[in-house]
Amino acid sequence: MRKGYKQLLAEADAVVTAIDVAEAASLHGQGDVVFVDLRDPRERERDGAIPGAFSCPRGMLEFWIDPESPYAKPVFAADKRFVFYCASGWRSALATKTAQEMGLARVCHLTGGFTAWKAAGGTVEALPAKG
């Protein structure tokens, strides 16, 4: 293997902005900030989510960001700051690096992810299971 996940994470950490739960909590609810939940829908249903977060499964990120993609989502074209998160901060670090490379200028990720948010007492909304 030429490059493992640890090296990929180290490369991402060197070029992305990571914020802690306290900073994320101060940003939550601001009109110019979008929290982006990169977790799988099953994780969200099982564990809940940060209230108001936009759900973007990690596997769709590049397709939803690119305005030329048939799957592009208007939220990513908005002049907003994006706070990416996943369960532990690994997927979000890699996703933040990718988003920056694609041209999103105001993007960061939550260190420790949703797990850290919950452990710090952050607000969590339950999501209904999809039948």
Question: Which tens digit of pLDDT belongs to each residue from 16-37?
Answer: 999 999 999 999 999 999 999 9
Q: How confident is the model at residue 131 (pLDDT cuts 50, 70, 90)?
A: low
Q: If you average pLDDT over residues 72-99, what whole number do you get?
A: 98
Q: The whole model's pTM is what? A: 0.95
Q: If you average pLDDT over residues 89-116, what whole number do you get?
A: 97
Q: Could you list the beta-strand ranges (E) of 1-131.
A: 17-19, 33-37, 54-55, 81-85, 107-110
User: Phi then psi for 39, rounded to 5 degrees?
Assistant: -75, 160
Q: Is the pLDDT of residue 41 over 90?
A: yes
What are the helix and strand counts (H, E) for the chain? 6, 5
Beta strands across the sheet bearing 17-19: 17-19, 107-110, 81-85, 33-37, 54-55
CATH of domain 5-119: 3.40.250.10
Q: Hey, where are the domains in the chain?
A: 5-119
